A and B are shown apart, each in its own frame.
Chain A
């Protein structure tokens, strides 16, 4: 069964989910029609290549076609159907049309052009001649079908925004406490003649170091969490999809954000101390 035929078969979906009856016996592949099933169905129904099953467009023991499983296919990594606990069976287009009583009908055609202007010309010509159907660019279809993920991505960004605000306050609080704890040291330094600028600079460097070390540890925790998340969801949804991805861009953004927040918090905390008279810091 060639990939082309499989793709052609995919464009017609059965109006009702095909019912599969249990395997009866092993036969040679040439005796009956052949189908390909996905690995989820193979695992759940304990089916193997060479098994014979009866395919029917209607459930409840309605008459159907006796077919041989010729291949077991791996599920595509399509996020849109990851949560749908469905089985997929691929068969020749004409056989599916016959089985489902669809006649000479298909759900869609995939047209290969040489791209660029020729694609647009073909699109215009098809749409000008079309009655009852419409041609789209694959890219436009992809944009339409990925809207769910754009919304989820926007939701993630909003949650990330709240998390950043919480982290910023946490960091400011911690650095304020840390600098406050050192008020006696800072007072002593100021009384010895160390300039305000040097004190602020030292605190800011310390804050930056803490932020870098913290974000480094955070990266390790995040990376480990991404491994756990991928392991959990791949098992749960039985897919090869990557659910959490730690990319250099994400790490750079996180570290940069942590350093900027840390330096700002350190600067604010240090400024508060150096503007207080040293003797007041010592409680005199």
Chain B
């Protein structure tokens, strides 16, 4: 009965109800997008870091992984020290460097990013075709590098580690064979990348790169807290910075904190807009029906029933808007994520807007809460109507 009256009230002004629902839907869409933005970066980055199960990164003191050209010396000794710890399952040393692909008939060499890896414990790429690097002259390349150089699996490339402007010649030149193609997790979307055995890349760089790496990735045993191992590394190796997943998340949060704060502000604004819209509409609806409400009260309908009807009316508007808003929000989130994905240097695996069912429920719950709040004033107004005076006023009108 109460629900039927609420539906009848909404159906009486279909355009008004449609616009209010649409308004709430847009507010809900924006709110969902902002909830996704606020939580998505964290979850995406966590998933991104733990993609291959390495929970700890070790970089040169005072830097983040690949944030500078700094490298860590005595890499072999550090690897030995790390693997000696019984809580450490795997250590993957990685050296990053720019190399040049020297092609016949091309005046300028193509510059690509090379990752020197240990083929047995690498965690930087997923093989899409061919084979992994298993010999000193093997390389695995990504699609971007394939397009940039035209190299195919089985091709041989002349790769140089540097250029000597005075002698006008390439340094550290090696002939390497493309044995596979891969999808690299941590490099930028449009960056040409190749994986090469660590020892080869170190040798190509001469004495400057001898036994040096840019990063160690460390996997710890199950049920061992990575923070404990990170603390041990910090104490044992004072020349490096150890970054656990938690610390990395904290760092990315501080660097991309702007987006989180923006999402909080815009989320709050959309919630307020939805609240105001429902409050206004339900208040006007009550105002239009004061006569009816007075009659209902006069024939014995309790205040509670009147309040219930107004709350249901408010909730119907909110829920209908919220459900449509979730659908609109998912579409707009894809559009917004596509824009932010073009940020330079961002890996393909990283997303700003990540949908989780909890985000959808959170959005609906917030809007239902605001719908309940929006019903407070009109409910109070309806329940406190002076019955006799209102009926007299309506009769005169």
Contacts and interface: CB of A to CB of B under 8 A. Distances in A.
Interface of A: 13, 15-17, 19, 58-60, 83-85, 130-133, 147-148, 151-152, 154-155, 158-159, 162-163, 165-166, 169-170, 172-174, 176-177, 180-181, 272
Among A130, A154, A176, the most chain B Cβ lie within 10 Å of the Cβ of A176
Nearest to A146: B344
Contacts of B339: 151, 154-155, 158
A60 B238 contact: yes
B194 interface: no
A147 B339 CA distance: 12
Contact of A159 (B62, B165, B266): B266
B254 A85 contact: yes
Interface in B16-57: 16, 19-20, 22-23, 26-27, 29-30, 33
Given A132-B165, A148-B343, A165-B26, A16 B60 contact: yes
Contacts of B270: 166
A173 B13 CA distance: 12
Contacts of A163: 30, 266
A83 B254 contact: yes
Contacts of B254: 83, 85
Contacts of B30: 162-163, 166
Contacts of B336: 155, 158-159
Interface string B163-182: 11100100000000000000
B164 A173 contact: no
A60 B78 CA distance: 15
A191 to B, nearest CB: 16
25 contacts: A15-B70, A15-B71, A16-B62, A16-B68, A17-B60, A19-B62, A60-B239, A83-B256, A83-B257, A132-B164, A151-B342, A151-B343, A151-B344, A159-B336, A162-B33, A162-B332, A166-B23, A166-B26, A166-B270, A169-B22, A173-B16, A173-B280, A177-B16, A181-B284, A181-B287
Contacts of A159: 266, 336
Interface residues of B, number: 49
Interface class of chain A by DSSP: helix
B280 A174 contact: yes
A170 B23 contact: yes
B81 interface: no
A173 B23 contact: yes
Closest 3 CB pairs of A and B: A132-B163, A59-B61, A16-B70
Contact of B238 (A13, A16, A59): A59
Contacts of A180: 13, 16, 284
Contacts of A60: 61, 238-239
Among B13, B254, B257, B339, the most chain A Cβ lie within 10 Å of the Cβ of B339
A174 B279 CA distance: 11
B335 interface: yes
A131 B108 CA distance: 9
A13 B23 CA distance: 53
Contact of B273 (A85, A154, A166): A166
